[in-house]
Chain A
Amino acid sequence: MILAKVVGTVWGARQAASLGGRRIVEVRPVVLGPAGPVPHDATEDRLADASLLAVDPLGADEGQLVLVAIGSRVRDLCLGPDVTTKHCVIAIVDAAEVVEGEPA
């Protein structure tokens, strides 16, 4: 799993049937940074450049930190084998703390 921040929701009326109307969120992975709590208002420098899209069965809001699990088996288990994604939100994060920061 990776820690990521929800940066938006992807809406679209025309959706593959296999997605079954599920909500898709755009997230950006959090980079570790210095020791301390991972801020919920993590800004640019704490987010990876590339964003990714994940199916969100939990209803995370924009700006929230989430845990994204990756892989086809995770998809099978969370959503069902027919859903066309490999990324799934499995938890909405209350708090995350980095105790030991990146080496200098």
Chain B
Amino acid sequence: MILGRVVGQVWATRKNRWVEGKKLLIVRPLAWFRPDHECGHVVAVDPVGAEVGQDVVVCLGLPARRALGDARHPVEASIAAIVDRVEVHADAAADGGPRFEFAHGSEPSGLDVRP
């Protein structure tokens, strides 16, 4: 699963019948995420009721299909949860590497950085 921010929505009339009536949201990953192609977004089906501006957990692959109630949906991303708070211990990775930080503008809502 990945953390992402809902930044927009997609409307389509002509689509695979399994996607009929489904809300499609554009999600910008908040931490580095590499789909097949580097385009900075993923479109996810939303069974949870997320809104633009909210931060979400996006589930990928088969579980994403199951979340829609039937594994035959031909999609590979769906919203699993709406994030309230993220707690990060900046020095958690005591491996001598750089401190972990979300990129500017990509800090999740309710981010709580503990020393």
Using a CB–CB cutoff of 8 Å, the interface residues on chain A facing chain B are 1-4, 29-32, 38, 48, 50, 52, 57-58, 67, 69-71, 73-74, 77-78, 86-88, 90-104
Given contacts A1-B42, A2-B35, contact A67 B24 (CB under 8 A): yes
Hey, which chain B residues are within 8 Å of A70, CB to CB?
35-36, 76
Instruction: Give the number of residue pairs across the A-B interface with Cβ within 8 Å.
Output: 131
Hey, which chain B residues are within 8 Å of A100, CB to CB?
5-8, 28, 52-53
B42→A2 contact, CB < 8 A: yes
A–B Cβ pairs within 8 angstroms, 13 of them: A3-B10, A3-B43, A29-B39, A32-B41, A48-B37, A58-B14, A67-B12, A67-B43, A74-B74, A74-B75, A93-B10, A93-B12, A94-B13
B12→A91 contact, CB < 8 A: yes
A1→B76 contact, CB < 8 A: yes
**Interface range for B:** 35 or more
Hey, which chain B residues are within 8 Å of A38, CB to CB?
8
B62→A73 contact, CB < 8 A: yes
Judge if B97 is at the interface, Cβ distance under 8 Å.
no
A103→B14 contact, CB < 8 A: no
The 6 A-B residue pairs whose C-beta atoms are closest, nearest first, are: A103-B105, A91-B15, A29-B39, A91-B12, A98-B8, A77-B74
- The residue in chain A whose Cβ has the minimal distance to the Cβ of B104 is A103
Given contacts A1-B75, A69-B75, contact A90 B15 (CB under 8 A): yes
B41→A2 contact, CB < 8 A: yes
